[in-house]
Amino acid sequence: MIAVLRLGHRVERDKRLTTHVGLVARAFGAEIMYYTGDRDETVERTIDEVVRRWGGSFRADYVESWRNLLKQWPGKKIHLTVYGLPLRKVIDEVKALYIRGEQLLVVVGGEKVEGGVFRLADFNVAITSQPHSEAAALAVFLDWLQEGRELERVYDDARILVEPSERGKKIFKR
């Protein structure tokens, strides 16, 4: 089981970025995105609407304290940060934990990440050592973790289905 924690959401400024982190979490096989910072019903509603149409049971849940969530988390915590160890160095170890059935919490930052996150994480992992995007870092990490198996996932309860196509849009609604 994979969960995601998005830190330090700010209403308005981060609305679309946090929504993207949530949609990436869902599309790449996580079950839930927790988020801290400002509670934002727009983000939660947008994600609910995607789930209703595209299937599955993913959801976004606000939590007050990242510290409590990290301290109480029953499995391993992986913090994605430019300051961490290279993905290639840690991925085999994390993959082994995942295959063994550990519950993984993947943490991605907002603007400033407090030192406690680095200390409470079991792994601090860098997806390149360059600044870019938390949605992108999350996607690449989850893709390596699951070796691309997540890319072809189909949702049985989807109301919208895409039929892959060389050119053009083939979409079914039911």
- Helix H or strand E encompassing 105: strand 104-108
Helix (H, G, I), strand (E, B) or coil at 147: coil
**Smaller CB separation from its own copies, 101 or 170:** 170
CA nearest to 6, candidates 26, 30, 39, 36? 36
Number of residues near its own copies (by CB under 8 A): 56
CA nearest to 96, candidates 113, 75, 79? 75
164 makes contact with its own copies (CB under 8 A)? yes
Segment near its own copies (CB under 8 A); pick from 16-24, 37-45, 67-75, 96-104:
16-24
1 makes contact with its own copies (CB under 8 A)? no
End-to-end CA distance of the chain: 29
Name which position in 153, 157, 159, 172 contacts its own copies (CB under 8 A). 153
Tokens of 101: 């059935």
42 makes contact with its own copies (CB under 8 A)? no
Scanning residues 82 to 121, which ones bind its own copies (CB under 8 A)? 82-89, 115, 118-119, 121
CB-based contacts of 60, cutoff 8 Å, min separation 6? 22, 32, 33, 34, 35, 43, 44, 47, 48
Segment near its own copies (CB under 8 A); pick from 1-9, 37-45, 95-103, 128-136:
128-136
* Residues that bind its own copies in the complex, under the rule CB under 8 A: 13, 16-17, 20-21, 23-24, 26-28, 50, 54, 82-89, 115, 118-119, 121, 124, 126-133, 135-140, 143-144, 148, 150-154, 162, 164-171
